[in-house]
Structure 1
């Protein structure tokens, strides 16, 4: 996260760290007691994931976090690494986790009847991605920020035809903040009328010019993928 702030430990108990076979890293969201949602480009080619739940500093030993190795993954059939379409994937945990406590809890998903495009909405992002362009690695501690959702038309001004109805974008310049490498797969969420965080996007891409280039950030629009998520997980959304 560029220009974020350190989250309070367990402030976002659904935020999940993925240490991926082969050495890459992504962020993800817990959506039930046994399913994790992330980006297809994180799961593509992965043999297994070391899934950290209830984590804050992923570079130290934390007694309260869960570390689970998972290898069952489902990548959206429309996933295309060239056009970035269908950049969503699901990971099934080998056994359900306890979500009755305060450290590990699922996030609510956008309601299928909710047709809002969320243009102009304040959205929340959190992840362990890089905090600046350049050679550094991921952030040890979970970072958070707020960003503004922009229209797809505005996003197309930067990215052209890869912006489809199934994409949702946020402005970098509005809050001078956005996602970066390692934040991929994380939830972009809004706070609904009940005061609950509700996921409306999955972090997908940043500008090839860099995380700090000022260009918008791209996400998979969750409303386009709810029926697929339901069909794979059996969750009634």
Structure 2
């Protein structure tokens, strides 16, 4: 009798345990990244709270999304992290903010920003740069890429302290434009991905990585549902902004 009661109790708990485990998985349907396997990843924070992702493209600059500063005037970046709860993380103040000059908070067009750090970064095994495209080009549809971040696993859910990752697939540009419409989507500035997993709240600003190169900046998706099957996630196409990027970074000695 005792064994039967125990089995019934376990059965009643299983659905709850399964649900809890899924909630604790960061990025929608993602897996935990191998610690420090993405040493370019940056946590952009305000008041010691993770706000957005970002990525290190030089020893003085982090790239992220412009909208990450809409309501947060002061930002710091955390480098070389996997578990954001660990103490003694490398935190660096932002010296200056460089939103794209044509970005406004009325839309996600030109949603790209460079953060000039207060000091140069000392690169090591846990802190490294990621390359960006050398010339303007489109990534072919059906290319498998990846995204990572400390964002939520479900819409309006809590963030994750451990860096999570998942694979995504590049969508045909015209198909994405048809889904979002010309007011929201610019085929020259943006690109879309889809897949079983994807970005969510708190992953904005992180990189879309294809073949070891950061080709996109996580920008926006369906406001009502992360990883929506109807409205794909949208990324700012980095290669469309190379002259502007070089004009900002080139000013630093």
Question: How many residue pairs were aligned?
Answer: 223
Q: Does 1:176 align with 2:220?
A: no
What is residue 76 of structure 1 aligned with on the other side?
100
Q: Is 1:145 matched with 2:171?
A: no
For residues 116-141 of structure 1, give each alpha carbon's deviation from its aligned partner in whole angstroms, at most 9, with x where no partner exists. Answer: 3332111110111101124x321110
Q: Which runs of at least 4 in structure 1 moved beyond 6 Å after TM superposition? A: none
Aligned to 1:194: none
Tell whether 2:220 aligns with 1:205. Answer: yes
How far the C-alpha of 1:209 sits from its partner, in A, is 2.6
Partner Cα separation in structure 2 for residue 210 and residue 71 of structure 1: 35
| RMSD (Å) for aligned C-alpha atoms | 1.9
Alignment of 1:103-142 (within 5 A): 103-112=126-135, 115-134=137-156, 136-142=157-163
- Residue 21 of structure 1 and its aligned partner are, at CA, apart by 5.2
The change in CA–CA distance for 1:147 and 1:228 in structure 2 (over 3 A counts) is: same
After TM superposition, the score normalised by the length of structure 2 is 0.83
CA distance in 1, matches of 2:130, 2:251: 13
TM-score (structure 1 length as normaliser): 0.88
Structure 1 residues 235 and 158, CA, compared in 2 at 3 Å: closer, same or farther?
Answer: farther
- 1:29-73: CA deviations, max 9, x gaps? 000111000000012353221210000111232x4x311122411
CA contact (8 A) 1:16 1:52 kept: yes
2:72 counterpart of 1:46: yes
Identify the structure with the greater helix proportion: 2
Distance 2:60 2:122 in 1: 9
Q: Which runs of 5+ in 1 are unaligned?
A: 192-196
Q: Distance in 2 between matches of 1:22 and 1:33?
A: 22
Query: Contact between 2:70 and 2:105, CA under 8 Å: does it hold in 1?
Result: no
Distance 1:170 1:90 in 2: 23
Kindly indicate whether residue 253 of structure 2 is the aligned counterpart of residue 234 of structure 1. no
The Cα shift of 1:235 comes to 8.0
In 2, Cα distance between the equivalents of 1:118 and 1:28? 24
Q: Does 1:33 align with 2:59?
A: yes
Give the distance between the partners of 2:251 and 2:82, measured in 1 at CA.
27
Whole-angstrom CA distance in 2 between matches of 1:212 and 1:125: 12
